[in-house]
Structure 1
Amino acid sequence: MRTTTPSGMSDTAPRTYAHEIHATGLTVRVGRGRVAVDGLDLSLGTGTHGLLGPNGAGKTTLIRALATVLHPTGGDLELFGHSVRDRSHHRELRRRIGYLPQEFGYYKRFTVREFVTYMAWLKELPDRDIPGAVQRAVERVGLADRADDRLKSLSGGMVRRVGIAQAVVNDPAVLLLDEPTVGLDPAQRLQFRALLQELGRESCVVVSTHLVEDVAAACTDVVLFDQGRLVFQGTPDALASAGTPDQPGDSPLERGYSALLSNSDQGKGSW
């Protein structure tokens, strides 16, 4: 269930929009002017979208741009019908976004409940709604029995689950997860896939991952990204059908992944 539209957004948000995320010719430069996202055209709506690609493909840069952490250097990016170039809307947009970066900062002396509560406060949830929202988020990631433990006492996988909890505490309309399954054991990954499927029924979920099996199990849509450019967008079945038995990979999906990268000019030398 999504949160109520924040105060102020209802006055400025379009009545309707075709997609929660819409990029047109999106270019993002990082470092010393390196183009990490290169003229991207992409539209994403309700569903769970798996963002695949080799190391250095630009996945993290794209996720950070979608989270309004990085700003476009070319083209345009719209969230909920608003261009992110208009920074006056960033505060309202961020209230509707959940974001888990690859590395997220946290206070080791906070308990799980305290940390997720703090993040809910930063996202400007109404005070009366915060306790219930925190409890739901902690339960969703299977940490209800550890809610009052300090973060410094948790394993790496549990800390990652706390990161997922803070990302979903505001019931975001757009949820951005960068390598969320790092550190999770096989049972936890299965539970996480089920959570992704649940969230994708009402929200636009974008999951950056190296694990093709997670995409196959949880995602309605696959976005294959390499050297800042879109190589493929379609269903997991369509990705699997792009492969042939002679392509490297342990599954049809991995062979389709390999085939599309090898057939793409962008894929050459990217590993």
Structure 2
Amino acid sequence: MSGVSLAVAPRTEPDQTITSGTKVQPKPLPHQQQQAVAGGVMRSLRVIELQLVAFIMVFSASGLVPLLDIVFPAFTTAYLIALSRFAFPSHGRTSGSQEIFHGSRLFRFYVVVGTTVGLFLPLAYVLGGFARGDEHAVRSATPHLFLLSCQILTENIISGLSLFSPPVRAFLPLLYTVRRIFVVIDWMHDVWLNKTLPANSEFQDMAWFWFGRGLAAANFVYFSINIFCFLIPRFLPRAFERYFREKDEMHAKIEEDKRSAAMNKSQQADKKAD
């Protein structure tokens, strides 16, 4: 969700062979076991996210999402395709993993916290609003869920496609996060200024009221940190670094092929002269 589908993946170690050519399965080291477990957790998390996306997209289409937020995913997709075609075309050659950023265990924990705060708890808040008949809560949190669902779905689609270069894939969470920050600000405005707690409210009503306020504020804090402390200073530069490194490698390979072809042509000419 903060670019998790594009940023996080378990590292793979090369196979080890003996001199006879028989492949030997090395005993996994402790850190490799930890990476495998973390990778399994992240894959399971993505499956859960995609299952929730289908559910969220259904009830988000019931008139609870403003027209601007409905149009935004289509505009973003068209813009990313244009970038991949004219500004940052893919080199067509990818070596190794498609992931841009290999995160540590602390970063994976950060992603899990973001998924909980940004997806699971808002979904529980919206469903609770349906159960309690709180239309105000449902309407204020649904646009955020809709945009996040579109982001998760798009990230999972383009993460394995070589059509999109690293900068284009990095722009995806950046654009969605910028838009969702403004949506979350509207959410905070609704629950902090437009919604009041009736006098002599019961404890459950008070808990629900402050849960909505705290959840909106938590999303604003998390995604503000995400864009200013991760996406812009770390994720985006890493994407451009990888893109231009691959570009330089491709040009170096082309020049090497040209030199080899020229040398072969020269040798053939010398043989004919002899």
**TM-score of the aligned structures, taking structure 2 as reference length:** 0.24
Q: What's the TM-score, normalizing by structure 1? A: 0.24
Q: Which is greater in Rg?
A: 2
- Between Structure 1 and Structure 2, the one with more strand by share is 1
